Amino acid sequence: MAQVSGIGQSLAKAARSAPFLDREEEQALAVRWKDRDDEVALHRLAQSHMRLVIHYGLPMADLIQEGHVGLLEAASRFEPERDVRFSTYATWWIRASIQDYILRNWSIVRGGTSSAQKALFFNLRRLRAQLSQTMGSGIGAAVIHQHIAAAVGVSQADVAVMDARISGSDLSLNAPSHESDGGTSSERLDHLVDAAPLPDEVVGEAIDSRRRVAWLRDVLTVLSERELNIIRARRLSEEAATLESLGERLGISKERVRQIENRAIEKLRKALVDRHADGSALV
């Protein structure tokens, strides 16, 4: 970390000490690079504008280097004939390069892919601070999120999610958590609760399911053919048939279908109780 900081400070010092260019010299260097691919001209043009990168207040070497990438991109795309100052043009590319780097490295989870999300990411803290000053420190989070959503042009839910993301940092599940009673260290992963059933519960449920299926097949034999058809269509199919459709198929009224269904269920329940005392809950 100290080495990275030292590199950043060296780059910042070199950028601040680079001489300024007047408009004519800047124009001449840009033309030499544009027309003749003069790398010396490119170097002088980029070096004299490196202070634009430091202007963002990000002294870390990697951020400064990302800004330098944007500066070089601006130099390669700059069109001197448009009569625009290079610094004005380069500022946009520097900002875009640094912002893209921050978005790609802020979190393991990639976010801020749309222009609105990027605007939210880079303006949320500033807007929240402004609202706190103008509306008071006691203002609720929901009200702040509502105002920010209207200002940036995103949903209030997007603001709430982004606020939560930038308020904290990524945490490794393998990071130490605390000391246990036995004096051994533990990781955050050790304290995660798995909502899935335990292996013995999975096995027990599988055995019980097979047993219940066997019981049901056994007692279905007490039903008549019509009762069995109705129970299968109404209770044992993924998509239950309606009373009306079954009545049309069997040539009876839907009320009669309902009566036969209820009678069949009672017969099944009685047979389950008689043959398997624990099976009455199946129907």
Mean pLDDT, residues 58-77: 75
Closest Cα partner for 132 from 145, 121, 119? 145
Residue 208: enclosing H or E segment and its boundaries? Answer: helix 199-219
pLDDT at res. 261: 92
Q: Which residue has the tokens 């400070």?
A: 9
User: For 4-9, which contacts have Cβ atoms below 8 Å and span 24 or more sequence positions?
Assistant: 4/60, 4/61, 4/62, 5/59, 5/60, 5/61, 7/61, 8/59, 8/60, 8/61, 8/63, 8/64, 9/59
User: What is the signed CA dihedral for 130, 135, 136, 137, rounded to 10 degrees?
Assistant: -60
Enumerate the domain spans of the chain.
2-105, 111-192, 199-282
pLDDT band at residue 4 using 50, 70 and 90 as cut-offs? very low
Of the chain, the percentage scoring pLDDT greater than 70 comes to: 73
pLDDT at res. 2: 46
pLDDT at res. 255: 93
Q: Look up the pTM and report it.
A: 0.34
Q: In this structure, what token pair is assigned to residue 185?
A: 């260290």
pLDDT tens digit sequence for 151-164: 888 888 888 877 77
pLDDT at 262 over 90: yes
| CATH top-level class of 2-105 | mainly alpha
End-to-end C-alpha distance for the chain, whole angstroms = 68
83: helix, strand or coil: coil
Distance from C-alpha of 48 to C-alpha of 8, rounded to nearest angstrom: 17
Mean pLDDT, residues 122-134: 73
CATH topology assigned to domain 199-282: Arc Repressor Mutant, subunit A (1.10.10)
